Chains A and B, each alone.
Chain A
Amino acid sequence: MNDSLIGIVGAGTMGAGIGQVAAQAGFETLLFDISQEFIDKGAARVRAFLQRGRERGKISADEETRILSRIKPTLELQDLAACSLVIEAAPEKLELKREIFQKLDSLCSPAALLATNTSSLSVTAIAGPTRHPERVLGMHFFNPPPLMALVEVVRGEQTSPATIEQGLDVARRLGKTPVSAKDTPGFIVNRVARPFYIEALRILTDGDADVRTVDRIMKDGGGFPMGPFELMDLIGIDINFAATQSLYQAFFHDSRFRPSPIQERMVLAGLLGRKTGRGFYTYGEK
Chain B
Amino acid sequence: MAKNELAVVGTSPLAKELAELAHEKGFAVNVHDSARGISSTVSAIIDVEAGNEEAKKTTLRKLDADFSRLPFVLSSCLGFSTSRIASWTSRPERVVGFATFFPLKEKKVIELSSGLKTEEKALSEAEAFYRALGKEPIRVKDTPGLVFPRILSMIINEAARSLDEDVAQAEEIDVGMRLGTNYPRGPLRWADQVGLDEVLTVLEGLQRETGEDRYRPAPLLKKMVLAGWLGEKSGKGFYSYK
Whether B167 contacts A217 by the Cβ 8 Å rule is no
Chain B contacts with A in 176-214, Cβ cutoff 8 A = 176-177, 179-185, 187, 212-214
A217-B111, A221-B111 known; A150 vs B176 contact (CB < 8 Å)? yes
A187 in contact (CB, < 8 A): yes
* Chain A residues in 8 Å Cβ range of B25: none
B14 in contact (CB, < 8 A): no
Whether A222 contacts B214 by the Cβ 8 Å rule is no
Tell me the complex Cα distance, A196–B148, Å: 10
Interface band, chain B: 35 or more
Whether A208 contacts B147 by the Cβ 8 Å rule is yes
| Min C-beta distance of B169 to chain A, whole Å | 8
Tell me the complex Cα distance, A203–B126, Å: 23
Tell me the complex Cα distance, A225–B184, Å: 7
Whether B138 contacts A213 by the Cβ 8 Å rule is yes
Q: Report which residue of B107, B146, B167 has the largest number of chain A beta carbons within 10 angstroms of its beta carbon.
A: B167
Whether B150 contacts A203 by the Cβ 8 Å rule is yes
A125 in contact (CB, < 8 A): no
Q: Report which residue of B158, B172, B182 has the largest number of chain A beta carbons within 10 angstroms of its beta carbon.
A: B158
Whether B212 contacts A188 by the Cβ 8 Å rule is no
A149 in contact (CB, < 8 A): yes
Question: Which residue of chain B is the closest to A217 with respect to CB atoms?
Answer: B147
Interface band, chain A: 35 or more
* Chain B residues in 8 Å Cβ range of A217: 109, 111, 138, 140, 146-148
Whether B147 contacts A207 by the Cβ 8 Å rule is no
Q: Which of A79-87, A106-114, A178-186, A272-280 interfaces with chain B?
A: A178-186
Whether B176 contacts A221 by the Cβ 8 Å rule is no
Tell me the complex Cα distance, A199–B159, Å: 15
Chain B contacts with A in 130-146, Cβ cutoff 8 A = 136, 138, 140-141, 143, 146
Whether B172 contacts A179 by the Cβ 8 Å rule is yes
Whether B176 contacts A207 by the Cβ 8 Å rule is no
Chain A contacts with B in 144-172, Cβ cutoff 8 A = 148-150, 152
User: 13 A-B Cβ contacts within 8 A?
Assistant: A150-B175, A150-B176, A177-B175, A191-B167, A192-B158, A192-B177, A195-B155, A200-B151, A208-B146, A221-B111, A254-B214, A256-B158, A256-B214
Residues of A within 8 A of B (CB): 142, 148-150, 152, 177, 179-182, 184, 187-189, 191-196, 198-200, 203, 206-209, 213-214, 216-218, 220-226, 228, 254-256, 258
